[in-house]
Structure 1
Amino acid sequence: MNGMRPSAGVEDVSAARPVALLLPGQGSQHLRMAAGLMTAEPVFAGAMDEALTTLTDLGGPGTGLREDWLGTSDPAVMDHITRSQPLLFAVDYALGRLVLSWGVRPVALLGHSIGEVAAAVLSGVFTLRDAAAMVHDRVARLADAPPGGMVAVAATCDEVAPFLTDGVVVGAVNAVRQTVLAGLDGPLGSVTAALAGAGFVLQRVPASTAFHSPVLAPAMSGAGERIAALPVGEPGIPVMSGYTARFLTAAEAKDPAFWARQPVAPVLFWPALDALLAQGHLVLVEAGPGQGLSQLARRHPAVRSGGSAIVSLLPARPGTAEDDVAAVRAAAEPLRQLAPPPATRAV
């Protein structure tokens, strides 16, 4: 065991409140993320097998996904776009399916970056196969992008603005004082060195690609035509988009350009979370590896006041298979109590 209490990601959810799922993206991946559930949670295992088989059948970047997820000991492999993006998509989707199997009916889904694609599947906008095809195409396009990365800065957007140069941009607004910068390695290194010299606290995001930066625009050129061939449904569960900070409309869901520009556009997680919690108090369930989104959400006034609560399905840090299982089962107990009672049939 890694010493962390299994219930560390579970807050008091005894008060009946609607549930919303948070689905994390790049930076939350780690070796064998959620792998401990494969022998203990059949619903998760079935959904994960379905997702991995679909991605693998597409070939190219999907080849060897399962083997690397379960077998590699090199963190650099898991951080590369050909592994991090499809595996995060698969894990988010499978954990979402697991929560739904408990009878929980989310009133909203909020995904961060690739997590929004998983949200689109859980909502019914895309089938798993069609979303996997979109992820596969995205990864294939971006795999050979120039070396770049992302750095989180404990600062506001206004505070970092004077330091931005040479194509380094704000790639994500994760909280009021957590801004993520994205850019090619050289310019990003220069900007972060200047920020560090000015006294800002920084942390590198595990990524070897400048996600949510215009430098990826050439690689994504033409992606809309590929996405346009995919059938699209209307959201069955409302999706709070991390790119617009409002609920996804049917028109946006059917717009290929909306999905094609996501790797280039900034993620507005904090504004989206703010808009979501403005709807009323919620139980926010992080359905993905780690507890990064949970930690961000705990900064929100609606959570700090106790009106809204956080439940994380997995441990905050990588651990053993037993840690994964204990964390999920600790989360499942209170969440099942929030599921609506089964409908009764009139006699």
Structure 2
Amino acid sequence: SEWAEMARELTRASDRFREHLVACERALEPHVDWSLRAVLEGHEGAPGLDRVDVVQPVLFAVCSALVGLWRMVGIEPDGVVGHGLGELTAAYVAGALSLEDAALLVAQRSMVLAELAGQGAVARVSMPPDDLATALEGWDGQLTVAAIDGPNSALVAGVPSAVAELIAQVADATRLPIDYPRGTPALDPLRDTIVSQLEDGQISLGELEIPLYSTIRTDKIVSRELDAEYWSRNLRLPARFSDTVEKMLDDGYRF
């Protein structure tokens, strides 16, 4: 809801932001059955942001519009990195994807996750990665590290009952409003679906205009590597965000 309110305010205040949202809506129209504008403005009958197949395309639209606004005032990134869905946005910002192809990928990604809605849960846990890995050994594969966001911050995903038990046992664990098992083996049966959908989309990859860092590889990546297989791994494997940011710092970037 905070993102939606921010978008409404920026739409009123900035022609550039509004124009980019309109362009995003046009790019998404062939792939979704709802209106970006209606969702952001809270129109009656519009789907809610609690649906993964709605919130992810909306987040992509708002984030990419923000980048367009920053660029208008002279703020140009020297390099980009994204977390989960944010990696698709980063690929668009870096020039690897056109707006239309990025919108297609985001829509397909979110629809795959929607098939698992209600089957998972995610918690943020304040614990060093090694300690967390040890703590999860007793869960018989029901819990998976979905992301490592910092030296003492990680996301754990799995079946809802196991996530609830983890939160009850670990002091610094908080459930997030995510109801699908991101980054877990539950996505394995959908791998072929993900790859075939993305391949059928005939995505055209452009040359990178600025460096793009991958949270799967924790290093720079070139556009030709951003194929269907890569984006299926983006869904399935942990986002090693902390390690990637450390690599960028080692390479001389400052945030």
Alignment TM-score, normalising by the size of structure 1: 0.66
Distance 2:234 2:253 in 1: 28
The answer to whether the aligner puts 1:122 opposite 2:122 as a matched pair is no
1:178 is matched with: 153
Tell me the secondary structure at the aligned position of residue 93 of structure 2.
helix
Judging by fraction of residues, say which structure has more helix.
2
In the TM superposition, what whole-angstrom CA distance separates every residue of 1:134-173 from its partner, at most 9, and x where no partner exists? 1111122221215212111110122122332242100010
The answer to whether the aligner puts 1:279 opposite 2:254 as a matched pair is no
Q: Kindly tell me: are residues 66 and 217 of structure 1, through their superposed partners in 2, closer, same or farther at Cα, counting changes over 3 Å?
A: farther
1:202 is matched with: 173
Equivalent pairs counted in the alignment come to 247
Structure 1 stretches of 5 or more lacking a match?
1-27, 285-347
Tell me the secondary structure at the aligned position of residue 124 of structure 2.
strand
Q: Kindly tell me: are residues 99 and 136 of structure 1, through their superposed partners in 2, closer, same or farther at Cα, counting changes over 3 Å?
A: same
Tell me the secondary structure at the aligned position of residue 59 of structure 1.
coil
The answer to whether the aligner puts 1:58 opposite 2:43 as a matched pair is no
1:111 is matched with: 82
The answer to whether the aligner puts 1:150 opposite 2:125 as a matched pair is no
Q: CA deviation at 1:98?
A: 1.2
1:260 is matched with: 232
Alignment TM-score, normalising by the size of structure 2: 0.88
- Structure-to-structure mapping, 1:323-334, within 5 angstroms: none
Percent of pairs with identical residues? 26
Q: Which of these residues, 47, 63, 68, is aligned with residue 92 of structure 1?
A: 63
Q: CA deviation at 1:96?
A: 1.0
Q: Kindly tell me: are residues 143 and 216 of structure 1, through their superposed partners in 2, closer, same or farther at Cα, counting changes over 3 Å?
A: same
Q: Kindly tell me: are residues 216 and 30 of structure 1, through their superposed partners in 2, closer, same or farther at Cα, counting changes over 3 Å?
A: farther
Q: Which amino acid aligns with 1:44?
A: F
Q: CA deviation at 1:31?
A: 4.3
The answer to whether the aligner puts 1:36 opposite 2:9 as a matched pair is yes
Tell me the secondary structure at the aligned position of residue 76 of structure 2.
coil
Runs of 4+ in 1 over 6 A off after TM superposition: none
Distance 1:183 1:278 in 2: 33
8 Å Cα contact 1:31-1:78 kept in structure 2? no
Tell me the secondary structure at the aligned position of residue 149 of structure 2.
strand
Distance 1:46 1:251 in 2: 30
Tell me the secondary structure at the aligned position of residue 13 of structure 2.
coil
Tell me the secondary structure at the aligned position of residue 247 of structure 1.
strand
Distance 1:88 1:264 in 2: 20
In the TM superposition, what whole-angstrom CA distance separates every residue of 1:290-341 from its partner, at most 9, and x where no partner exists? xxxxxxxxxxxxxxxxxxxxxxxxxxxxxxxxxxxxxxxxxxxxxxxxxxxx
Distance 2:72 2:89 in 1: 16
Distance 1:33 1:81 in 2: 19
Tell me the secondary structure at the aligned position of residue 212 of structure 1.
coil
Tell me the secondary structure at the aligned position of residue 236 of structure 2.
coil
Higher relative contact order by CA 8 Å / sep ≥ 6: 1 or 2? 1
Q: Which amino acid aligns with 2:54?
A: R
1:18 is matched with: none
1:218 is matched with: 189
Q: CA deviation at 1:29?
A: 6.7
8 Å Cα contact 2:147-2:240 kept in structure 1? yes
Larger Rg: 1
1:331 is matched with: none
Q: Which amino acid aligns with 2:80?
A: L
2:215 is matched with: 242
Q: Which amino acid aligns with 2:250?
A: A
8 Å Cα contact 1:80-1:208 kept in structure 2? no
